[in-house]
Structures are given as structure tokens and as C-alpha cells.
Amino acid sequence: MPVTTRQWLLNGHPRGRGIEDSDFKLAETKLAEPGEGEVLLKTLYLGFDPAQKGWMENIADYVAPMAIGDVMRGSGICEIVASNHPKFAVGDLVFGSTGWTEYLVSDGKDLTKVETDLSPTSVLSILGTTGVTAWCGLFKVGRPVSGDTVLVSGAAGATGSIVGQLAKIAGCRVVGIAGGEDKCRWLVEEAGYDAAIDYKAGSVRAQIKQHCPRGVDVIFDNVGGSILNDMLGEIATGARVVICGGISRYETGSLPAGPQNYFNLVFRRGTMAGFIVLDWASEFPAIRRRLEGFVKDGRLTWQEDIQHGFENAPDTLQRLFSGKNRGKQLLKL
Ligand code: NAP
């Protein structure tokens, strides 16, 4: 029986502005039956990442461009509901870049089975790209050593909250920057940060000085803009500055002003490096096992913010840009 599915299609490239409702179009289509070596998947959860805006804009050159009419790209957890594939059985749970669609047919090449003792949704959060991004950015680029001061922006977000906890496990002093009292309280009371800075309350630079009196050895930046500039102003000698994301500029078309404090990299012999986590894809299974081990040992916690209803996918993506999300943003279909 051919299946009819709803899909969210790209309907506009949000360049130079925030995402608007009209950038998406809800469509219905009939899927062909799965052929030999194919499976029919039913989407159970979608995962959201600020990078999706960059994909919609086509400014990110590490992924294929998106065309108007494409199914919106995104990660998902799906159940196999029909299988002509030797590797997958009906009832198996899998995850991958499955897109904003209720059902899809796949050849299985980019699907990974959900195999964890944690909740199935963990494969989109702590054990997903989010967790491995935190790991790779911190350990491979930031290279913290015990006793370092690590400063994280976007600290209460999905990635940032894991970064801080991993840095604590590595024996560092960890300070986070986040928006609002509630998030700052959660960072210190639940995620084990040593201190939190509310960027919406007072001078960020002064608060960094207060909480990092000996300077910052590792910066993990998810935000960019003036917050990056303030962090660069307080680096210690030999600092490593990790550029993971730049959400403060994702909403605007203009390029952010250059960080005026960048010359501290010269005075303090620092380095600044960006990364794309996919470059370490072959190591993801091993990193996931380490992350799962830390969770089971009680040393790592994480938050998931689960919204409901396929029709709410565009609004759910928007939550990342207004800071409404508490931890990894997910949607249950
Ligand atoms: P997230 O941090 O859970 O959600 C985004 C958060 O950004 C919001 O909750 C909000 O928190 C903050 N924010 C939004 N607008 C802001 C602004 N104008 N100024 C300051 N903060 C703002 O998202 P995530 O999935 O963990 O992603 C974090 C970053 O990692 C993103 O930039 C993403 O693109 C990047 N990333 C990079 C890679 C890579 O390979 N390099 C891979 C995955 C993700 P507040 O309430 O605190 O403002």
C-alpha cells in the first residue's frame, strides 16, 4: 500500500533576516513502495540545530545546497515500518538525517540503529551530533589541561552545557555565559559550572574579569559578535579559542563587526580555530561510548526540550533563536 505523507518543504532562503513562516510550505505526497534493499520509515522525533538556518540560506559550504521545494533537512529518529533490507527489521529504531517528513523511503545507507541503554532520544542529544560536537570541539581543538579556566558561551544550550561538564571532568574551572537568571542558576546548580554570567544583565567583560581573574585558557564560543569580543579581551597566555558556532549573527544579513580584541591573540600567544564536527565522523561511535559511560557514572547530565506535533516544526526551530529552548530542542511527532 503506498503511503501518503506530510512534508515541510523549503519555500524561501532566509538571507539577511530571521526565519519567517513563509520560508516553509506544508505539502502532502504519496511515497513509492520500498523496493529491494529499501525500508519504509515512520518519523518519531525530529532534532533541531541552529545550523539549519545556514543550510536554508545556502551559506554553509560543508553541506550540499538546499533548493526551493526540497524537504527541509534535519535529523530524526524513525521506526522501520516495512523492510526489504537485510540489515533492518520491522520495529527497529534508527536515526540519521531523515528530514521533516512523517514517512520516508530509504536505502539505509545513512541510517544508524538506535543501540543505547539511555532513552532513544539521547541519540539526537547527548549521544548525537550535539554530544560529539561538545567532545571534539573541546578536546581536539580546545585541548584543556587540568587547572585551566574554560569559558563557554551559549553555555546553557544543548552543546554548551555538555562542554562545561566535560571540562569539569577534565579538571578545569568552568564559567558559562547564558541569557537570563534561570539558565544561569541551572548552569551552576545542575550542570556543575563554577560560575555563570548573565549576558543580559550588566557588562559581560566586567563579569568575565570578576569570574576569571587569571584570564581564560580555553574559550568555547557558540555565539560570536560582542560576546566573542569580550571573551577575547580576557584570554590568558597560550589561550585556545574554539569557534563552534555564531548564533548571534545567524539572524542578520550583515557580517558581524570584527572582534576588536583579536590582537590579544598576538600579545598572549593565543590561537583561534573553527571546526566542523563531521570531520571526525569515523570516531563518533567511540566518542558516543565514552559519553554514555560518563552518563552512567553519574558525571554527565543533559536536558531535552520536547515540543509536540509535526505541524509545529517551523515554530520549534524558531525557539533556538529566541532562546526559549532548555537543552536539546526536539519535536515528538
Ligand atoms: P543551543 O545552544 O541549544 O540553542 C541556541 C541558544 O543560543 C539559545 O538557547 C540561546 O540561549 C542562544 N542564543 C540565541 N540567539 C542568541 C544571541 N543573539 N546571542 C547570544 N545567544 C543567543 O543550540 P545547539 O544545538 O547546542 O548549538 C550551539 C551552537 O553550536 C550553534 O551555533 C550551532 O550552529 C553550533 N554547532 C556547531 C557544530 C560544528 O561542527 N561546528 C556542530 C553542531 C552545532 P540564551 O538563552 O543563553 O541566549
Percent of the chain with pLDDT over 70: 98
Question: In sequence order, what are the residues at sequence separation of 6 or more whose Cβ sits closer than 8 angstroms to the Cβ of residue 20?
Answer: 12, 14
The ranges assigned to domains in the chain are 3-125+302-332, 129-278
Ligand 1 pocket residue status of 125, Cβ below 6 Å: no
CA of 321 to the centre of ligand 1 (A): 8
Ligand 1 pocket residue status of 108, Cβ below 6 Å: no
Q: What is the pLDDT of residues 216-225, one digit of tens each?
A: 999 999 999 9
Ligand 1 pocket residue status of 161, Cβ below 6 Å: no
Strand boundaries in the chain, DSSP class E: 3-10, 24-31, 39-47, 75-83, 93-96, 103-106, 112-113, 149-153, 173-178, 195-198, 216-221, 235-243, 271-274, 304-308, 328-332
Ligand 1 pocket residue status of 154, Cβ below 6 Å: yes
Averaged pLDDT for residues 57-70: 89
Q: What is the pLDDT of residues 246-296, one digit of tens each?
A: 998 776 666 777 899 999 999 999 999 999 999 999 999 999 999 999 999
- Pocket mutation for ligand 1, best pick of 55, 305, 320 (most atoms within 8 Å of C-beta): 320
* Amino acid letter, 301: T
Say how far apart CA 308 and CA 327 lie, in whole Å.
16
CATH code for the structural domain at 129-278: 3.40.50.720
Q: What is the pLDDT of residues 176-207, one digit of tens each?
A: 999 999 999 999 999 999 999 999 998 999 99
- Residue 229 has a pLDDT of 96
Q: Residue 231 in contact with residue 221, Cβ under 8 Å?
A: yes
Output the residue whose Cα is nearest ligand 1's atom 42: 133
- The pTM of the full predicted model, rounded to 2 decimals, is 0.95
- Angle value at C-alpha 50, between 218 and 104, nearest 5 degrees: 130
Dihedral of CA 136/150/49/44: which sign? Answer: positive
Say how far apart CA 7 and CA 26 lie, in whole Å.
6
CATH code for the structural domain at 3-125+302-332: 3.90.180.10
Ligand 1 pocket residue status of 121, Cβ below 6 Å: no
- Residue 99 has a pLDDT of 98
